[in-house]
Chain A
Amino acid sequence: MTAMSMDDAAPAEDGGILLEARSVTKQFEGLVANRDIDFNIPRHSIVSIIGPNGAGKTTFFNQVSGIYHPTSGEIILDGVDITNLAPHQVAELGVARTYQNIRLFQNMTVLANVMVGRHVRSRGAWFAAVFRLSGIRREEEAIEQRSFELLELVGLRRSVADDLAKNLPYGDQRRLEVARALASDPVLLLLDEPTAGMNPRETRKMTEFIGRLRRELQLTILLIEHDMKVVMGVSERITVLDYGEKIAEGTPEEIRANPRVIEAYLGKQATA
């Protein structure tokens, strides 16, 4: 694990900042889910957000992907202000995500799920489809071919392509969700607890896979994860949230040694 993270650390140093969050605050009625969060993701890095349950990690994710809009503060993706964009606009700019509780298009086929992911990178309008205007057949074939490639990349057999997504085993559903996200050719991939519910072996494979994705697809990855092994193994930088606030930030080694982090995690357990 450690060896891999050393290898992967190299490309993170150049390329500047891909995503920048400036004092992002999100308030639901009385509850402050995120308070004044400043947060940077360097290009081609793997960054993790950790924190106890209810710390505001997923809320932050939802703001980056446009599902929520911050109460105050701003979010900049590659120089573009995405603070108040709709989710489909954010997706078009290259942010793709997976969900903590897998959310596939259950009653569509495996292949169709990935093909929907390709939506933002294709243009075919309804009238073009009805009249088979020039190019539409080629575009459809390209979408399908790319989708098959992605299924292969995430390790799904071609023979399941026509099965319904909901009939896949759990681990394959997670993979399919990743394939769907990758289909939009994202620059930033948000993974919400990608190893949740997996056994140690599956978890190890997923961890390796995340590293491979960054190397092979030049991705930048933001990760929410509970499994400390995964977090420490794969990420260059870690941000720790607690009660909606950022309490620490740094390399895995720094975070491991940080007394506030230990308190947030262990202190809670001690009092419980």
Chain B
Amino acid sequence: MAMLRRAIAAGLVVAIVMLYLAGVGLIGAFADRQVVTGYLSLGRLMLLAPLMIGGYGMARQAGSIVRRLTLGAAAGGIGGAVFALGILAVLALSPGVRDVFIRFNDDLLSFALFGLEPGPGAVLNVGLGMVLGLVGASLPVVPPVVRRGLLVGVAGVVLMSGLEPFVRPRLTDFDLHDVVLFLYEDQGLLPLAAVVVFAVSALLGVLWRPARAEVQRRFAEADPGAQRVARWVAALLLISFIVTLPQLTGVFLTQVLVLVGLYILLGLGLNIVVGYAGLLDLGYVAFYAVGAYFTALLTSPTSSLAIGLSFWAALPLVVIGSAMIGLFIGAPVLRLRGDYLAIVTLGFGEIARVLFLSDALAPWFGGVQGILSIPDIIGEGSYTIPLLGEIKGPAATYYPLVAFCGVAAFVAWRLKYSRTGRAWNAMREDEDVAQATGVNIVNYKLLAFAMGAAIGCLGGAIFATHLESVFPGTFNVLVSITVLAVVILGGMGSIPGVVFGSLALIGLPELLREFAEFKLLVYGGVVMLMMILRPEGFVPDVTRRRELHEAEEEPEEDDDTADPENPEPTATAAPSQA
């Protein structure tokens, strides 16, 4: 009985989520975005996914397999039924009242009922709910390999169809018309192509882990010389991939990559402040703004300084100036902890924006008009890189940005495994004890702020030259929140996590343009879900992962060897080095 009650509760939650997604307009926005042309749209997928997740949740409970599957199907069926009831209820409203629910227009209602009459449509919803609930419920029951294959396969299909606007023109550029015809019709995949993509992705998903384990085993068995060679080869492959990316992806995607790179840079900086030192800074945008405005002042011939330095000449001044601002902001908040620190830094972020906007300071910062005619990063509009040819457009920003990200990641990585990094971590864990252990809290807090500021200002500097202008409106609190979301999604204190977070939170929404309107809604949802379900992030720091999922972790699976960013500590820990 208790279990049945939980199934009903799960079904209700699922239905509420579905109705909510429909009510805010997400479903409608994606109803025409095809995944498999003629069969499945992204909007449909969004309606169906909650049913599966509900079933999955039920089957994670204890009990016999039959019981779990039954409850999953029940939860899905109840979810579908309540959703259908909700839709029918809206249909029953008189037209005047229905106008209040602006997103529940005729198109959406018909979409929710699969274009059928209300009766059959509702029944189909219930039936589909039961089937999907059952499928979801079978996920925890089937072997992990099957589960992984299924999920990666579906993800592959969604990604391939989502990337259509970018894949199609590139394939055409490379004269692969047959491939295009095989894969796509309109925006979505053709059914056969969808099956192939699903199979290939599923296979990759299944083979990935054993392959990785095998590579790791061979790597561990290799002698140190071969290991070094392997490491260099891997690094070279990665670098050449990153370097040729703009050539492969085309102008628009490069523009997206620039945006992703900017947030990687900002995330790396904030990661030092929040992830390493544990200082929750909600005003990180201030450093971004300061970097952008310093760059604008120093390089734009029309700024109040009117000295028109080149970007590279201005850069050291910008970094030093921003680090000083970091100290300046850090000093008054030295004594604050936790929530109080968060509130005050939030205020500082707003103060920065208001100062740049203010009429009183307009002679320097240009007020609402901002500062214009900032020269681009090279000053010529394009430059030439051997082997790659002439670089122009967003790619001209991409390369310096990648270099900056590399430098920032390198600094963050070296600091992480240093005396400084340990002192920061200790401070994060217990400020009083850290101090009694000999850590000079004042210095290390200021260092964290200055370091975060120096990295954040690099992002601002790039941003200013990329847009060739700065406006105060750009630097609002949402930037701070977004950067924080990037850090949280990837995993606090994790360097690859920042890259992942930025790709997922900045890159994906750019690819799905229908998404723009709902970006913040989704960010909020993502951060909440992460905090509840996976607080260590998707690509967690090794120690952090251990801390939060001690019990459910497969036994000692990839503790030392899997650390993607630093193979060194294990090497130094080995007695052979001593």
Residues of A within 8 A of B (CB): 65-67, 86-88, 90-92, 96-97, 99, 103-109, 112, 115-117, 119-120, 122, 124-126, 129-130, 132, 136, 139-141, 143-145, 161-164, 166-167, 180, 184
Contacts and interface: CB of A to CB of B under 8 A. Distances in A.
A141 B435 CA distance: 23
Contact of B437 (A116, A145, A163): A116
Given A116-B437, A120-B438, 4 more contacts: A92-B438, A106-B430, A109-B543, A130-B410
Contact of A105 (B430, B440, B546): B430
Q: Which 9 A-B pairs have the closest CB atoms?
A: A129-B418, A120-B438, A91-B438, A105-B429, A126-B420, A124-B419, A87-B435, A87-B436, A116-B426
A88 B419 contact: no
11 contacts: A88-B436, A104-B429, A105-B426, A108-B422, A108-B429, A116-B439, A117-B438, A122-B419, A126-B451, A129-B421, A130-B410
Interface in B549-578: 550, 559-560, 572-573, 577-578
A197 to B, nearest CB: 19
Contacts of B411: 130
Contacts of A97: 436
Contacts of B547: 107, 164, 166
A206 B393 CA distance: 69
Given A99-B433, A116-B426, A125-B420, A107 B543 contact: yes
Contacts of A120: 437-438
Interface string B438-476: 111100000100010000000000000000000000000
Contacts of A167: 546, 550
Contacts of B147: none
A141 B577 contact: yes
Contacts of A91: 435-438
B544 interface: yes
In this complex, the member of B421, B440, B559 whose beta carbon has the largest number of chain A beta carbons within 10 angstroms is: B440
Contacts of B419: 119, 122, 124, 129, 139-140, 143
B432 A67 contact: yes
Majority SS of interface residues in chain B?
Answer: helix
B436 A67 contact: yes
A116 B447 contact: no
Contacts of A163: 546
B543 A164 contact: yes
A270 B437 CA distance: 42
Contacts of A161: 573
A126 B411 CA distance: 9
A257 B370 CA distance: 83
A124 B419 CA distance: 6
Contacts of A115: 422
B415 interface: yes
A136 B440 CA distance: 20
B195 interface: no
Contacts of B550: 167
Contacts of B543: 107-109, 112, 164
A125 B411 CA distance: 13
Contact of A145 (B418, B426, B544, B578): B578
Contacts of B578: 141, 145
B448 to A, nearest CB: 10
B572 A162 contact: no
B330 to A, nearest CB: 15
Contacts of B434: 105, 116
B426 A108 contact: yes
Nearest to B544: A107
A228 to B, nearest CB: 28
Given A109-B543, A141-B572, A66 B420 contact: no
Contact of A180 (B425, B437, B572, B573): B437
Contacts of A140: 418-419, 572
Given A103-B430, A108-B425, A119 B577 contact: no
In this complex, the member of A105, A144, A145, A167 whose beta carbon has the largest number of chain B beta carbons within 10 angstroms is: A105
B414 interface: yes
A86 B334 CA distance: 15
Contacts of A116: 422-423, 425-426, 434, 437, 439
Contacts of B573: 144, 161
Given A129-B415, A145-B578, A164-B547, A117 B420 contact: no
B441 A88 contact: yes
B67 to A, nearest CB: 34
B560 to A, nearest CB: 7
Nearest to B421: A129
Given A130-B415, A166-B547, A105 B435 contact: no
Contact of B559 (A104, A141, A144, A162): A162
Nearest to A177: B433
B224 to A, nearest CB: 16
A143 B439 CA distance: 15
Nearest to B429: A105
Interface string B205-241: 0000000000000000000000000000000000000
B429 A184 contact: no
B572 A88 contact: no
Nearest to B412: A130
A119 B437 contact: yes
A119 B429 contact: no
A63 to B, nearest CB: 12
A120 B436 CA distance: 10
A139 B447 CA distance: 21
A132 B568 CA distance: 14
A184 B577 contact: no
Contacts of B438: 88, 91-92, 117, 119-120, 184
Contacts of A164: 543, 546-547
B245 to A, nearest CB: 27
Contacts of B432: 67, 87, 103
Nearest to A120: B438
A125 B418 CA distance: 9
A105 B441 contact: no
A194 to B, nearest CB: 16
Contacts of A122: 419
B287 to A, nearest CB: 18
A129 B414 contact: yes
Nearest to A108: B425
B174 to A, nearest CB: 42
Given A105-B430, A107-B547, A141-B578, A132 B422 contact: no
A195 B345 CA distance: 43
A88 B439 contact: yes
B449 to A, nearest CB: 13
A16 B279 CA distance: 45
In this complex, the member of B435, B438, B439, B572 whose beta carbon has the largest number of chain A beta carbons within 10 angstroms is: B438
A103 to B, nearest CB: 5
Contacts of A67: 432, 435-436
Contacts of A132: 414
A224 B572 CA distance: 39
A46 to B, nearest CB: 21
Contacts of B577: 141
A140 B414 CA distance: 12
B422 A65 contact: no
A124 B420 contact: yes
Interface in B156-189: none
Interface string B286-308: 00000000000000000000000
Contacts of B440: 86, 88
